[in-house]
């Protein structure tokens, strides 16, 4: 999942590390269609950590690296296929989990990194776990937040179950579609975000993002999609999330849980807001049951967003804990 705009409590801004700029950046050609944007910040001789953004369809954020000590870590970020500064923006062809894992390996080799800490929140946690299952020897540890494993029950919860907690948001989301299309929100939203007039695609994408954003905070906040940039970002996120939900589910749907043995020996911390509605607590609990060695840190007064004080504070503490590895 993805939240387009970070909304940080002022106290958290004072707690995390100061803003830093990349000292190296570029584009990596990964196939005949896609070029991915990447950047490196922090300590050039530090311990590598790769930060995986949410979505699918989100993008890297400068704030994301402020949770990691820039004197200790060599911080790698990249925009996944079709996202952020990667080109072509919003491209759905050759865009699935296996391609993203392959891109991570190409980037690791391009940067001459032997192994790295792997960190990701929401959809980023899904990609981190899937990457680790394919390439466990390249992972020093996992630092995860807002666990999402792309199971059928989790996708159904996102499309319908969140409405049990936020019925007013769900009603707006559902009722934008014609009556005859409301029984299949996922496929009909996907159709309307990928076909037809551009302005109609934007309308449905903004509705998709507004629904998600309204459910993402312990204390609900309103998100705006007024500028052209905000609307284009909403379209990328909406299209990409729906595309992955329909075309890129794991087979079997509980693939991650069935393959946890591959990574159980790797140190891992998972941070979960007790009242995360977007990626509910049950998912993190199921992961911890399959992975007893996982350090599951439950933050009781928190929802989904890393911008909430207690959740962000715990994420910062966890990244500092991993410095001892």
Q: Which residues are catalytic, by number?
A: 122, 276, 304
Place of tokens 């299952």: 133
Whether 256 and 281 have beta carbons less than 8 Å apart is answered as no
**DSSP string covering 2-26:** --SS----HHHHHHSPPP---SEEE
Place of tokens 């299209």: 239
Residue 53: left (phi > 0), alpha (psi -120 to 50), or beta?
beta
Whether 225 and 38 have beta carbons less than 8 Å apart is answered as no
Strand partners, 78: 38
User: Pick from 123, 147, 124, 127: which is nearest to 273 by CA?
Assistant: 147
Alpha carbons 35 and 271: distance in angstroms, whole number: 32
Tell me how many degrees the CA angle 66-68-70 measures, rounded to the nearest 5: 90
User: Pick from 29, 18, 16, 268: which is nearest to 129 by CA?
Assistant: 268
Q: What share of the chain is helix, strand, coil (3-state, %, to 5)?
A: 45, 15, 40
Place of tokens 């807001």: 273
Alpha carbons 321 and 256: distance in angstroms, whole number: 25
């Amino acid at each position: 999942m993805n939240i387009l705009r970070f909304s940080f409590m002022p106290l958290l801004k004072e707690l995390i590390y100061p803003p830093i700029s990349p000292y190296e950046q570029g584009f990596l050609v990964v196939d005949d269609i896609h070029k991915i944007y990447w950047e490196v910040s922090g300590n050039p001789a530090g311990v590598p950590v790769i930060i995986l953004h949410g979505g699918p369809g989100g993008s890297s954020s400068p704030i994301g690296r402020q949770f990691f000590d820039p004197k200790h870590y060599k911080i790698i970020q990249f925009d996944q296929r079709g996202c952020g500064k990667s080109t072509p923006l919003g491209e759905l062809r050759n865009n699935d989990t296996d391609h993203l894992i392959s891109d991570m390996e190409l980037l690791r080799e391009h940067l001459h990194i032997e192994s790295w800490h792997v960190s990701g929140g929401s959809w980023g946690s899904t990609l981190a776990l899937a990457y680790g299952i394919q390439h466990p020897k390249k992972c020093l540890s996992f630092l995860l937040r807002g666990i999402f494993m792309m199971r059928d029950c989790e996708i159904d919860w996102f499309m319908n179950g969140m409405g049990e907690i936020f019925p007013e948001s769900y009603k707006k989301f559902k009722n934008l579609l014609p009556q005859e299309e409301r029984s299949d929100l996922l496929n009909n939203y996907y159709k309307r975000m990928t076909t037809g007039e551009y302005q109609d695609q934007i309308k449905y994408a903004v509705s998709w993002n507004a629904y998600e954003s309204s459910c993402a905070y312990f204390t609900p906040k309103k998100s705006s999609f007024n500028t052209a940039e905000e609307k284009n970002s909403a379209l990328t996120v909406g299209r990409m999330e729906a595309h992955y939900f329909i075309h890129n589910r794991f087979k079997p749907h509980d693939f991650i849980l069935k393959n946890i043995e591959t990574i159980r020996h790797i140190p891992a911390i998972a941070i979960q807001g007790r009242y995360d509605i977007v990626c509910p607590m049950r998912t993190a609990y199921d992961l911890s049951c399959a992975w007893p060695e996982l350090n599951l840190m439950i933050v009781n007064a928190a929802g989904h967003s890393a911008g909430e004080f207690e959740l962000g504070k715990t994420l910062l503490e966890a990244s500092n804990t991993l410095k001892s590895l």
